[in-house]
Amino acid sequence: MDELEKQLRDLITSQGELVGSVSHDLKGLISGIDGGLYLVDSGFRKDKQERVDQGFEMVKRNLNRMRRQVSNVLYYVKDRDLNLQLIDIQEIFDSLNKVFLDHSKYLGVTLEIRPMAGSFEADKLAVYSLLVNIIEYLLETCRITAAEKPAAVTLSASMNNAQVIFDLFTDGFSIDEEIRNYALGPFYTPKGVDRSHLGLFVSHKIAKRHNGTMTITNSVEEGITRFVVSLPSSHP
Amino acid sequence: MDGVSMTSRRKILVIDDEPDVVCYLSTFLEDEGFNVLTARSGSDGLAEARAKVPELITLDITMPGISGIEVLTSLRRDPLLMNIPVIIITGVSGFEKLIDYRKVRPPEGFLQKPIEPETLLEMIFKLLKPEI
């Protein structure tokens, strides 16, 4: 009975932590939307088109992040059936470029998504979310280190007979060894970062849901971190 | 005294690692007539404060490297900067528990994110000393 009670308490505590963490993230995103709206509104009043455009981008960016956060929470609380279809890798990469290219420049981080021809069978929306979450994590963490040294994030893909392999690499930072062990858990919040990274947990869950794997390797000496996601190229 | 003459050329330092928040606060305060300095980290914020000695500082708590708590502690220990009013602007709930008030004088103001700009402005007006 004591053990059951302890497990129940731990579960309630962890759920509370998640709610707190997500609420904290949303506060930051709302601040960004407020800021964007202020720029749009004052830009119109002062007839400053550049300010209007900047504010509009800010609103869009934060709304997209909010959308992703809500989607991650929903993925966290509920398993979804996979909607398997043939996915064109370059099509996904084009969408990622569209989402992140300007954002990475804004953060002062170089993003390179290397072209790749090929297709594989998977849930398109889920795989897209998987990659978005990792790229967002890498860019956000690099943003912090970018002031000290130039940082770059690279996404590439390769295929063999049975698998498609996504390689996401950065020379901007290295995850500490002890953190690496729980970075794919639901409560990982990097020190000094104002938001949680539920996204990595969800990406890992999506990879497992496809009978794939997601691993992190790093080198503290070289200051590099690499995520490798392997997914089956077809499902029986 | 009207708003413009109250704020004209008065220096406020905004320290926050979130670019959107820095952009929001600096644009808003400049529109209100302040001379706004910005810093995107605790260490840059301290350097900027020492170099330019602002009349008021807005300070985030959760930042990479030197946290807002450490910045506040350093400001309070620096004879040049110890009397500058500090407004903490944070999304962290219950941050007060993180500061040992036996060692550090509390911040003069505290606001939770999301920010209400009018509340911030009102607080700044209350805290800025009248110009002689």
State residue B7's pLDDT score: 58
Name the band, by pLDDT with cuts 50, 70 and 90, for residue B104: confident
A96-117 pLDDT tens trace: 999 898 888 888 899 999 999 9
Token digits for A5? 């009670």
Residues of B in contact with A63 (CB under 8 A): none
Residue B28 in this model has a pLDDT that exceeds 80: yes
Strands of the sheet containing B11-15, edge to edge, are B35-39, B11-15, B56-59, B86-90, B109-112
State residue A52's pLDDT score: 97
State residue A101's pLDDT score: 87
Residues of B in contact with A42 (CB under 8 A): 27, 31
In our burial notation (b when 16+ CB lie closer than 10 A, e otherwise), range A217-233 reads: ebeeeeebbbbebbbeb
Any CB–CB contact under 8 A between A205 and chain B? no
B42-97 pLDDT tens trace: 999 999 999 999 999 999 988 877 889 899 999 999 999 999 999 999 887 666 66
pLDDT under 70: residue ranges of chain A? 1, 14, 145-148, 178-182, 185-197
A18-38 pLDDT tens trace: 777 777 778 888 999 999 999
- Which A residues, 29 through 88, put their C-beta within 8 Å of a C-beta on chain B? 30-32, 34-36, 38-39, 42, 51, 54, 58, 61-62
State residue A192's pLDDT score: 47
Put simply, the answer to whether B20 touches A192 (Cβ < 8 Å) is: no
User: At A83, phi and psi to the nearest 5?
Assistant: -100, 85
Name the band, by pLDDT with cuts 50, 70 and 90, for residue B132: low
Q: Parallel, antiparallel, or unpaired for β B56-59 and B86-90?
A: parallel
A169 by DSSP, 3-state: which? strand
* Beta bridge partner(s), residue A121: A86
Closest residue, chain A, to B65 (C-alpha): A192
State residue B129's pLDDT score: 74
State residue B2's pLDDT score: 47
Contacts of A14 (CB under 8 A, 6+ apart): A186, A187
Count H helices, E strands: chain A?
6, 7
Task: Indicate the DSSP class of residue A231.
Answer: E
Residue A135 to chain B, least CA–CA distance (Å): 18
Token digits for A83? 């909607």
What are the angstrom distances between the C-alpha of A235 and each of A82, A84, A124, A208? Answer: 11, 8, 14, 13
| % of chain B at pLDDT higher than 70 | 85
Residues of B in contact with A35 (CB under 8 A): 20-21, 23-25, 27
Mean pLDDT of B29-36: 95
Residue A195 to chain B, least CA–CA distance (Å): 10
Token digits for A116? 């790749």
State residue A16's pLDDT score: 73
Residue B132 to chain A, least CA–CA distance (Å): 32
